[in-house]
Chain A
Amino acid sequence: MYDVAIIGAGVVGGMVARTLSAYNLKICILEKENDVASGATKANSAIVHAGFDAKEGTLKAKLNVEGSKMMEKVTKELGVKYKKNGSLVIGFNEEDKLAIEELLERGKINGVEGLRIIEKEEIKKLEPNISDNVTVALYAPTGAIVCPYELCIAAVGNAMDNGADLKLNFEVSSIEKEDEGYKICSEKESIKAKFVVNAAGVFSDEIAKMAGDSSFTITPRRGQYILLDKECGNLVSHTIFRTPSKMGKGILVSPTVDGNLLTGPTSVDIEDKEDVSCTPECFEKIIKEANENVDGIPYNKTITSFCGLRATGSTGDFIINSPTHRFINVAAIESPGLTASPAIAEMVKELLVNEGVKLTEKENYNPFRKAMHAFREATIEEKNEVIKKDKSFGRIICRCEGVSEGEILEAIRTNPKPTDLDGVKRRTRAQMGRCQGGFCSPYIISLLAKELNIPCEDVTKFGKGSKLITGRTGEEIER
């Protein structure tokens, strides 16, 4: 019997698990995919929002500002890359200027520090490549960037290091209320827990329904992105937002913590909660709008494009509540959910206490986790010390990102352990460079097979049916 079961191993579920793992609780995280961070967490804008966007008085506003303030410490403890690069909301005309002034006021009420409106000359000084048509901007020095899947992986890993269990490929199919708590079942197995936290992203309405709560629905909102080569990462140093309009926040242009340039997202409401396909209209929109914001974005240096689904709730705000005894919803966590995640975790902790969870601090709780990029960022001397002890760190497997065999093996052996190509990619950056795994993926397939003690044919890209190899040469193929 677990004390707490958390459904969903995205950044919210991960941060909740990590926060709770500081106490003497038996925790289990349930994830339907083959790895953590497989939903909205792996495909979003990777922004730590300053907090001027959300309407004053909402949970979004409160938790955004709180989360933004917590993020630097959390990422430091978890060894996750974080950069306070500041953000700009740019305007092109008088109408935009009015909207920007509103944002400034809202930001002040929300408690965002350091906000101010700047004019063309200063904008150009901060961002020489910004479009000449930009006349005004809201400057938010507390805006930052973080790698969302790295944060999630580190949070889950840290929770596991502190005793939490993770069950992958556990797709919840029913939740039964029992005397002492809940029985949570998948098609194959079941677990029991006294308390349940529903952090199931776009599926959180369905999970809530299983527990008898039909008070909200989630609409997946598709956001498409185009990611450019590291060569282009210096084109802008701040995160460049457009002035929000009725049509949404528009296309942003931002460096990532790993030095790439990210542009997107589009915003399209859809029905299918699994449909992360890219569309030609979205490509056109991203390229057109991003080029309006910033001059000279070299889209011929695109290295990949992808889609994420934001969990847009029917209430307009985050839905964090306890609809029924011992069951907590953490639903509709769309933007600024990544930013808010550490604050959301604190709020969930308090709700659980209200529901009767007894918190006693774990004696040997360790809030720290070794940075996944530690070797990558080390000096030559430090690296040579490591290579002396473990030769595999001297052998580069991914040439584009310069990732060694040692780093890949270390990732495969570290909680939460990846078992597929994408999992290795998100932990090590191998396959994430300009050749997108063209050279290194065959090596990584064999490394995974060896470490997991499975045949290469069973290695997948992201679990389920995503097999990479269909057989051996020389075998007969059925037509």
Chain B
Amino acid sequence: MTDLVIIGGGPAGMSAAIAARKKGIKDIIILERDSSLGGILQQCIHNGFGLHKFSEEMTGPEYAWRYEKEVKELGIEYKLNTMVIDISEDRVVTATNSEDGIFQIQARAVILAMGCRERAKGALNISGTRPSGIYSAGTAQKLVNMEGYMPGKKVVVLGSGDIGLIMARRMTLEGAEVKAVCELMPYSGGLARNIEQCLNDFSIPLKLSHTVVKIHGENRVEGITIARVDERRKPIKGTEEYIECDTLLLSVGLIPENELSKSAGITLDASTNGAIVDQDRQTNCEGIFACGNVLHVHDLVDFVSDEAEIAGISAADYINNVCEEKININVKTDGKIRYTIPQVITKKKDVTVYFRVSDVFRNKKICVYDGKRLVFSKKKAKLAPGEMESIKLMGDMLDNSTELMFKLEEA
């Protein structure tokens, strides 16, 4: 029996482990599939990490190292090159690596911190051929930043997610020609600062309401056809434009990687593709917690670290049998607010609720209702799907509620 098994040694897993250790849990093991701790931060060699959490600007590996160092100083055990292949409802974790073979650990508590993966081209049903030269932006990032290989010379990026924007800049800095970034939606899914620093600073055109309608080239990509889309996101005939290129990078969304969660019987939220959790980041399976991008996709690692601390502390409390008075409030949203984390509130204490909106909104009021009673409201000049929002609810606001409704109203 191990007290705490943490699946994933990226920023979420490390932060959770450190938080749990500081709460007195000694028997912790982190299982990491890659050959080093740090997760996807290792390939994020650009800066901008840590501004919120440490008021410093770091690169991804620097941010990761800060946590890795602490993991090592605290003597937290971890296994690298180790892939978890199954988690059961009663917290038996099955994993494999070269040294131990396939092994099982019975855990008192489990923290899921597996991160996310990129939506692949297959999901897009793009017409045309299937040549080489089509990469998801993260794969290209790994090739360039970790392996030192260039995936192409003339590039079009489909999707303006943050990795796509970062890679548009990165490929440009390496001498490639990035011809355009196409975004299906009328707004970018990336952070405003990335549009500025990665596209505008390099005069890379961002084509909103555009998509790739055809891939050309038999063996290697030779070009793509893009077209403008209407309000229903369907290509408009006559707006097609051919762009010669040898590479198509896709940055069309991230999907929390919850296959293991499903095998454990954890209920997922259709909006986040992550687990439904309470304020402790505990899932519907007792003793299994989730944090980081496996729970919902974050824009900034700083918030991943914060969330993972909550999960780590909560897992420690769970292991130490800390009991608190239970309540049960479901958090609902109006559609303009797409989802909240947590989706359930089970303790009467102050809670920060994170959420994302489904469109770009201006001059709105974030309102929280308990039935007809307005318990919270806050004005906001601009909200965008690419930027996570949060509000803090005080414990004493939650009196006798069973459901809280999050709405966006006119300011």
Tell whether A pairs with B: yes
Which chain A residues have a beta carbon within 8 Å of chain B's beta carbons?
A: 226-227, 274, 276-280, 283, 300, 302-306, 380, 383-384, 387-388, 391-392, 394-396, 399-400, 402, 404, 434-439, 441-442, 446, 456-457, 460-462, 464-477, 479
Residue of A nearest to B123 (CB): A302
Q: CB distance A464 to B219 under 8 Å?
A: yes
Q: CB distance A283 to B125 under 8 Å?
A: yes
8 Å CB contact of A435 from B33, B120, B150, B213: B120
Contact with A along B86-106 (1 / 0, CB 8 A): 000000001011111110000
Q: Give chain B interface residues in 60-86, CB to chain A under 8 Å.
A: 81, 83, 85
Give A471 to B142 CA distance when docked, in angstroms.
14
Give A474 to B175 CA distance when docked, in angstroms.
8
Q: CB distance A470 to B130 under 8 Å?
A: no
Q: CB distance B148 to A395 under 8 Å?
A: no
- Say yes or no for B9: interface residue by CB 8 A criterion: no
8 Å CB contact of A441 from B98, B139, B176: B139
8 Å CB contact of A439 from B117, B125, B131, B214: B117
Residue of A nearest to B100 (CB): A394
Nearest Cβ distance between residue B403 and chain A, in whole angstroms? 28
Nearest Cβ distance between residue B348 and chain A, in whole angstroms? 38
- In the assembled complex, 18 residue pairs joining A and B whose CB atoms fall closer than 8 Å, in A order, are A276-B130, A277-B214, A302-B123, A304-B121, A387-B102, A391-B98, A395-B83, A395-B98, A434-B120, A436-B121, A438-B118, A442-B143, A446-B147, A466-B219, A467-B220, A469-B149, A470-B151, A477-B177
Nearest Cβ distance between residue A127 and chain B, in whole angstroms? 24
Give A392 to B85 CA distance when docked, in angstroms.
16
Q: CB distance A469 to B150 under 8 Å?
A: yes
Give A306 to B101 CA distance when docked, in angstroms.
37
Q: CB distance A438 to B139 under 8 Å?
A: yes
Q: CB distance A438 to B96 under 8 Å?
A: no
- Say yes or no for B201: interface residue by CB 8 A criterion: no
8 Å CB contact of B101 from A394, A434, A462, A479: A394
Residue of B nearest to A394 (CB): B98
Also in contact, A465 and B128, with CB within 8 A (given A436-B121, A438-B118, A446-B147): no
B159: A residues at CB distance < 8 A: none
Q: CB distance A394 to B102 under 8 Å?
A: yes
Q: Return the 6 tightest CB-CB contacts between A and B, nearest first.
A: A304-B122, A461-B132, A465-B219, A391-B98, A436-B120, A396-B83
Nearest Cβ distance between residue A337 and chain B, in whole angstroms? 22
Nearest Cβ distance between residue B230 and chain A, in whole angstroms? 15
Q: CB distance B98 to A276 under 8 Å?
A: no
B177: A residues at CB distance < 8 A: 477, 479
Give A472 to B153 CA distance when docked, in angstroms.
11
Give A69 to B410 CA distance when docked, in angstroms.
70
B94: A residues at CB distance < 8 A: 380
Q: CB distance A466 to B96 under 8 Å?
A: no
Q: CB distance A468 to B132 under 8 Å?
A: yes
Also in contact, A442 and B98, with CB within 8 A (given A305-B125, A466-B132, A472-B149): no
Which secondary structure dominates chain B's binding surface?
A: mixed
A434: B residues at CB distance < 8 A: 117, 120
- Say yes or no for B231: interface residue by CB 8 A criterion: no
Q: CB distance A394 to B129 under 8 Å?
A: no
Nearest Cβ distance between residue A276 and chain B, in whole angstroms? 7
Q: CB distance B117 to A388 under 8 Å?
A: no
Contact with A along B205-235 (1 / 0, CB 8 A): 0000000011100111000000000000000
- Say yes or no for B126: interface residue by CB 8 A criterion: yes
8 Å CB contact of B149 from A304, A399, A439, A471: A471
Q: How large is the interface on B (under 10, 10 to 19, 20 to 34, 35 or more residues)?
A: 35 or more
Q: Give chain B interface residues in 300-352, CB to chain A under 8 Å.
A: none
Residue of A nearest to B114 (CB): A399
Nearest Cβ distance between residue B8 and chain A, in whole angstroms? 12
Q: CB distance B101 to A383 under 8 Å?
A: yes
B126: A residues at CB distance < 8 A: 278
8 Å CB contact of B150 from A394, A439, A472: A472
A276: B residues at CB distance < 8 A: 129-130
Give A467 to B153 CA distance when docked, in angstroms.
12
Give A465 to B219 CA distance when docked, in angstroms.
5
Residue of B nearest to A468 (CB): B132
Q: CB distance A399 to B152 under 8 Å?
A: no
A226: B residues at CB distance < 8 A: 125
- Of A392, A436, A441, which is in contact with the most chain B CB atoms at under 10 Å from its CB? A436
Residue of B nearest to A307 (CB): B130
Give A468 to B135 CA distance when docked, in angstroms.
9
Give A435 to B117 CA distance when docked, in angstroms.
7
Also in contact, A283 and B127, with CB within 8 A (given A396-B83, A456-B147, A473-B149): yes
Nearest Cβ distance between residue A224 and chain B, in whole angstroms? 10
Give A278 to B213 CA distance when docked, in angstroms.
11
- Say yes or no for B246: interface residue by CB 8 A criterion: yes
B97: A residues at CB distance < 8 A: 394-395
Residue of A nearest to B170 (CB): A473
Also in contact, A473 and B138, with CB within 8 A (given A380-B102, A391-B98): no
Nearest Cβ distance between residue A429 and chain B, in whole angstroms? 15
Give A271 to B94 CA distance when docked, in angstroms.
52
- Say yes or no for B399: interface residue by CB 8 A criterion: no
Nearest Cβ distance between residue B34 and chain A, in whole angstroms? 10
Give A339 to B130 CA distance when docked, in angstroms.
27
Nearest Cβ distance between residue A232 and chain B, in whole angstroms? 13
Also in contact, A383 and B102, with CB within 8 A (given A441-B139, A465-B219, A468-B151): yes
Give A448 to B33 CA distance when docked, in angstroms.
21
Q: Using A438-B139, A442-B143 as known contacts, list a sample of 17 further A-B pairs with CB atoms less than 8 Å apart, ordered by residue number in A.
A: A227-B122, A276-B129, A277-B128, A278-B125, A278-B126, A280-B127, A283-B127, A303-B122, A304-B121, A380-B102, A387-B102, A396-B33, A399-B83, A462-B219, A466-B132, A470-B152, A473-B150
A461: B residues at CB distance < 8 A: 131-132
Give A436 to B121 CA distance when docked, in angstroms.
8
B139: A residues at CB distance < 8 A: 437-439, 441-442
Nearest Cβ distance between residue A168 and chain B, in whole angstroms? 15
Q: Give chain B interface residues in 347-391, CB to chain A under 8 Å.
A: none
Nearest Cβ distance between residue A6 and chain B, in whole angstroms? 25
B396: A residues at CB distance < 8 A: none
- Say yes or no for B144: interface residue by CB 8 A criterion: yes
Residue of B nearest to A287 (CB): B125
Also in contact, A438 and B117, with CB within 8 A (given A302-B123, A470-B246): yes
B129: A residues at CB distance < 8 A: 276-277
A274: B residues at CB distance < 8 A: 218
A391: B residues at CB distance < 8 A: 98-99
